[in-house]
Amino acid sequence: MAVCVFPGSFDPVTKGHLDLIERASRLFDEVIVAVLYNPAKTGLFPAEERIGLLRKACEHLSNVRFECFDGLLVDFMRSCDARVVIRGLRSTADFESEFQMAQLNHQMEPDVETLFMTTAPEYAHVSSSAVREIGSFGGDISPFVPASIVPDVVSILCQH
Ligand code: PNS
């Protein structure tokens, strides 16, 4: 069975993330969306809420599951016996750090390969940090966040 891991912070999940998850779910038998949980560096959205939002946004995808991880991604990959990491590239600006991360992961665990998928052009400018900023000032986040979770994201942002 071909399995891939799509790791990230997903703080919160955006339409760009969802597009990549949907495309990966058509290429692989199973997609594991792995949400980084770093107790020392909590995001705006707690990890459980980020997973809840991801679950809701991906309800239509039957071969996608969600896990939290902390520590090294390569250790998580070993723990679920997966070898393929999927990462999205929005622009050449993403490439440098993504290239370094892929090389580091490959050096630490040579069985792990990183596959890059180019983000859909309509989402190339979308980021979780922009969603947090726009939402925190009361701006309309609906162009950037999956429709099914817009009210939840707005309500979580209002609590902060
Ligand atoms: O959505 P993000 O914030 O760009 O995702 C980054 C993520 C979670 C994929 C990356 O920070 C990560 O894999 N962190 C785990 C720690 C790790 O393995 N570091 C070594 C590779 S640099």
89-140 pLDDT per residue, tens: 999 999 999 999 999 999 999 999 999 999 999 999 999 999 999 999 999 9
141-152 pLDDT per residue, tens: 999 999 999 999
pTM: 0.96
Place of tokens 């979770």: 149
- How far is it, in rounded angstroms, from Cα 116 to Cα 85? 8
Place of tokens 């665990």: 109
Closest by Cα among 109, 67, 86, 83 to 6: 86
Q: Please, how many CA atoms are within 13 Å of residue 149, restricted to the half-sphere of its CB?
A: 26
- How far is it, in rounded angstroms, from Cα 114 to Cα 144? 26
- Is 155 tagged catalytic? no
**Confidence bin at 159 (pLDDT 50/70/90):** confident
pLDDT of residue 123: 97
Domain ranges of the chain: 3-124
**Confidence bin at 42 (pLDDT 50/70/90):** low
56-93 pLDDT per residue, tens: 999 999 999 999 999 999 999 999 999 999 999 999 99
- Does residue 29 have a pLDDT over 90? yes
* Ligand 1 neighbourhood includes 73 CB (under 6 angstroms): yes
Nearest CA to ligand 1 atom 2: 8
Say which CATH class 3-124 falls into.
Answer: alpha beta
* Ligand 1 neighbourhood includes 124 CB (under 6 angstroms): no
Report CA(92)–ligand 1 centroid distance (Å).
18
- How far is it, in rounded angstroms, from Cα 120 to Cα 80? 28
pLDDT of residue 45: 86
Q: Count Cβ neighbours within 10 Å for each residue of 52-66 and write b for 16 or more, e otherwise.
A: bbbeebbeebeebeb
